[in-house]
Amino acid sequence: MARHVIIGAGTAGWNAITTLRELDKGGSEIILVSEEAPYSRMVLPYYLAQSIGESHVYTASSSRLAELKVETRIGQRAEQIDSAAKKLVLEGGGEIEYDNLLIATGSSPLKAPVPGADGDNVHSFWTLSQAQTVTAGLRKEARVAVIGAGFISFTILNALVNRGAILTVVELESRILPRMVDETGATIVEKWLAERGVVVRTATKLSAIEDKNGAKLLKFENGPDLEADLVIMATGIRPNIEWTRSSGIEINSGILVDDHCRTNIPNIFAAGDIAEGPDIVTGRKAVHAIEPTAMLHGRIAAANMAGDDTAFAGSLLMNIVDVLDLEIASFGAWDDPEAEAFEAVQPDRPAFRKLLFRGGRVVGAVILGKTRDIWTTNDVGMLKGLVYTGVDLSDWKDHLRHNPFDVKRAFLAAGTAGQLLSKTVLGRPSVPAGEIAISS
């Protein structure tokens, strides 16, 4: 019986487990090594908002893992891989032999490298324990400074506002969401936030965090000081690759994987935030560090670990977040400087569209609008469909140049739905994780 060792219980690891069990129905050994119990990072903002309880955060309980015949080493850290001996060495001793190894140890948050960044009431919001700390410590009308105005920080803005926090968002770059929208889009979002009482300071570099009368005093290289009760650092993440350096696995920004999520060592796979795999639009390898890619990697890696020969065309960079009922989503090469960009704003409301064309295909897109408006169209998913399939839209290009909002008719007329029916991931009906049959 093959033994699959999976390191990391985040989205990639968990999807690998369920996929393995979908395929082999319990016919292999799975050992899960993870510092933390399996939970979903994606739902932590809802935990912070107190719209769900802590139990809702976990993707699998210990009983569920047992049902799936998963042996667990929760609370343990992988220290080293001995690929020649096909052994995983755990911190503090202990070894596990494997036939296949999946590295899915994710990423860790970075804090701005300033004095005081490690002080009290300065937190990252990344892990469950950090979320617990912030959630417990957040008082109504607390003055909260969020350092960084990227996707991560935006996922928690709603929760902070709904909890009654008085918010200031500080961004080093000249605009917010620098890796999700362009200048035009960012301007709309900044206006929206300002109208709703969220203070945004862009092009502002934090220089120090001091203590003052029990509160925090934020100093900047430019601009006035800011007093806050709580500081949340959302200044980026980096893959947890250091521990793998001695293993012989090829590393660039992340662990390099092929279209099977395989590393240079055939029985070692990597998935999720740590993996640097093919991007479907550019064809180049990239670390996406997003949930959908982690899911995709996990499933692809698992299929190949189970003995299938399953390639994927690459993962698609995409993000969606809403801030106080303004929806923002971007897909693919939304900032490709080589592409032809068609964009338009609506005169009377916050609504922005951007389509990036290379030749006859859409390689990236930005959609931005009021949540109530956005969901009266099929456009969000269709933009993904257009980028994902790369369907030929040559006939529609002039029309979309003129009106980039009208993607639906282009999507339909180009037969995108028909293409999608055959462009699946594993090519087998999906099974809800709760219904995976395990043979006894």
Partner 1 sequence: MTDSIFAYAGQILRVDLSSGKTWTEPFEAEDRRKWIGGTGLGAKILWKEVPPEAGWDHPENRLVMATGPLAGLPVWGTGGLTVVTRGALTNGATNTQANGFFGANLKCCGFDAIVIQGQSPEWVYLHVHSDGVELRDASSLLGKDTWQTQQALEEVTALNGHNLSVYSIGPAGENLVRFAAIQGDYGHVASKNGCGAVMGKKKLKAVAIERGKKGIAAAHPRALYAAADEIAHNLKTDASTRGLYLFGTLGGVRNLYGMGALPIRNYTTNVWPEDVDTKKWEGKNLREGFDHRGHQCSACGMHHCHMLVIGSGRHKGEVVDEPEYEGWSGAGWAIGATEPSEVAWLNDRLDRACVDVNEFGWLCGWVMECQQKGYLSDKDLGFRLEWGDVEGANRLLQMIYRREGLGDLLAEGVKRAAEKLGGEAADCAIYTEIGNTPRGHDHRSRWEEMLDTCTGSGGTLDTAPPVQPTEFGLPARIEPQDPEAVPKQVGVLRGRRTFEDSLGACAFTTRVSMHVLCRSVEAATGWDFRMEEAIRNGRRTAALLRAFNLRCGIGPELEKPSKRYCSTPVNGPVAGVSISDHWEKMLDIWYETVGYDRKTGRPTPETLRSLELEEVIESLWGAEVKT
Partner 2 sequence: MKVLKIIPDRCTGCMRCDLACSYEQTGTFQPSKSVIRISSFEGHTSYAPYTCLQCDEAWCLTACPVEAIGISPVGAKVVADDICVGCKLCTIACPYGTMFYDIDTHKAVKCDLCGGKPACVEVCPTEAIVYEDAEQADWVGPFAAERTKAPAGPLAGVS
**Which residues form the interface with partner 1 (CB under 8 A)?**
344, 346-349, 351, 370, 372, 376, 403, 405-406, 409
CA dist., res. 64 & res. 438, Å (int): 12
Which residues is 199 bridged to in the sheet?
168
Instruction: Give the Cα-Cα-Cα angle 339, 342, 343 (nearest 5 degrees).
Output: 130
Residue 399 neighbours by CB distance under 10 Å:
14
Closest to 37 measured CA to CA, from 22, 18, 55: 55
Residues comprising the chain, all counted: 440
What's the min distance (Å) between Cβ of 350 and partner 1?
11
Nearer to partner 2, 231 or 281 (CB): 281
- Summarize as ranges the residues that interact with partner 2 (CB under 8 A): 11, 15, 40, 42-43, 45-46, 51-52, 56, 59, 291-292, 295, 299, 318-320, 322, 325, 329, 331, 371-372, 375-385, 388-389, 395-396, 398-399, 408-418, 420-421, 424-430, 432-435
Nearer to partner 2, 176 or 318 (CB): 318
- The amino acid at 313: A
Which residues is 39 bridged to in the sheet?
58
344: partner contacted, choices partner 1, partner 2, none (Cβ within 5-8 A by kind)? partner 1
151: partner contacted, choices partner 2, partner 1, none (Cβ within 5-8 A by kind)? none
133: partner contacted, choices partner 2, partner 1, none (Cβ within 5-8 A by kind)? none
CA dist., res. 382 & res. 152, Å (int): 24
Nearer to partner 1, 347 or 432 (CB): 347
Q: How far apart are the first and last CA of the chain?
A: 14
What's the min distance (Å) between Cβ of 252 and partner 2?
26
CA dist., res. 254 & res. 256, Å (int): 6
Nearer to partner 2, 102 or 147 (CB): 102
What's the min distance (Å) between Cβ of 372 and partner 1?
6
What's the min distance (Å) between Cβ of 232 and partner 1?
32
CA dist., res. 257 & res. 69, Å (int): 27
272: partner contacted, choices partner 2, partner 1, none (Cβ within 5-8 A by kind)? none
What's the min distance (Å) between Cβ of 306 and partner 2?
16
Q: What is the DSSP-derived secondary structure letter of residue 262?
A: B
- Directed axis angle between helix 11-24 and helix 291-305, to 10°? 40
Nearer to partner 2, 81 or 436 (CB): 436
What's the min distance (Å) between Cβ of 355 and partner 1?
13
52: partner contacted, choices partner 2, partner 1, none (Cβ within 5-8 A by kind)? partner 2
What's the min distance (Å) between Cβ of 366 and partner 2?
12
CA dist., res. 158 & res. 375, Å (int): 18
Nearer to partner 2, 41 or 175 (CB): 41
User: 58: Cβ–Cβ under 8 A, 6 or more apart, which residues?
Assistant: 37, 38, 39, 40
Nearer to partner 1, 187 or 346 (CB): 346
348: partner contacted, choices partner 1, partner 2, none (Cβ within 5-8 A by kind)? partner 1
Asked whether the CA dihedral 262, 100, 8, 17 is positive or negative, the reply is: positive
User: 6: Cβ–Cβ under 8 A, 6 or more apart, which residues?
Assistant: 13, 16, 17, 30, 31, 32, 33, 101, 102, 104
CA dist., res. 194 & res. 328, Å (int): 16
349: partner contacted, choices partner 1, partner 2, none (Cβ within 5-8 A by kind)? partner 1
CA dist., res. 271 & res. 260, Å (int): 10
245: partner contacted, choices partner 1, partner 2, none (Cβ within 5-8 A by kind)? none
Nearer to partner 2, 107 or 389 (CB): 389
What's the min distance (Å) between Cβ of 348 and partner 1?
6
What's the min distance (Å) between Cβ of 404 and partner 2?
13
43: partner contacted, choices partner 1, partner 2, none (Cβ within 5-8 A by kind)? partner 2
- What the block records as the tokens of 92 is 């503090």
- Pairing type for strands 275-278 and 255-256 reads parallel
- The amino acid at 88: L
What's the min distance (Å) between Cβ of 183 and partner 1?
21
Nearer to partner 1, 191 or 349 (CB): 349
Inter-residue contact 265 to 249 (CB < 8 Å) = yes
Nearer to partner 1, 230 or 380 (CB): 380
299: partner contacted, choices partner 2, partner 1, none (Cβ within 5-8 A by kind)? partner 2
